[in-house]
Chain A
């Protein structure tokens, strides 16, 4: 299996622009997670889905952030409008069931908002 695939790997955008990050989970995994990693706050859970349904979005920082999972093999995290403080590495992860030892992370999307 190719693992969790994220795109783009790097994005530089101007403040106010819309940013869309994409994720393809591991085939057969029924949980999908979006995390954000910054130097100041470390790795934080933003939202997670089970069988394409959002279960907990309490980590989403504000209304500018939204996430969707239209099918089992694709999810997006959208920021609109983007701000410099959104600069971070965004990781997607997936797992098979509620077993933390089956959570696999993608390589991340490095976002810089200038």
Chain B
């Protein structure tokens, strides 16, 4: 079993829809939780960062961490075609060794 599980998709939704992306993990020592966005043929870029449990909101994006369930989520409201990308969850125990999910490929259809 992988330390971090993420459904690779692909996921296709119409423009304006609410998107929900999720990851589960097995290592209860993880404290840092991140979501990265990766456009085709580009490097990952940090989208959201959360330390420990709780919610964090940034514009149309909301990240949730539920440590009791070992489950993290990313919600995208009012999705746009420019949100089409692969979304990777990542987490770590210490700040330096990130463990990534497989990534979910998301397409927003105009």
Contacts and interface: CB of A to CB of B under 8 A. Distances in A.
At the interface, is chain B mostly helix, strand, loop or mixed?
loop
Interface stretch (B11-19, B77-85, B100-108): B100-108
Interface residues of B, number: 22
Interface residue tally of chain A, by bracket?
A: 20 to 34
Nearest to A56: B97
B98 to A, nearest CB: 6
A34 interface: no
Contacts of A86: none
In this complex, the member of A56, A91, A100, A104 whose beta carbon has the largest number of chain B beta carbons within 10 angstroms is: A100
Interface of B: 32, 34, 41-46, 49, 88, 90, 92, 94-103
Interface of A: 4, 31, 33, 42-45, 48, 55-56, 91, 93, 95, 98-101, 103-108, 110
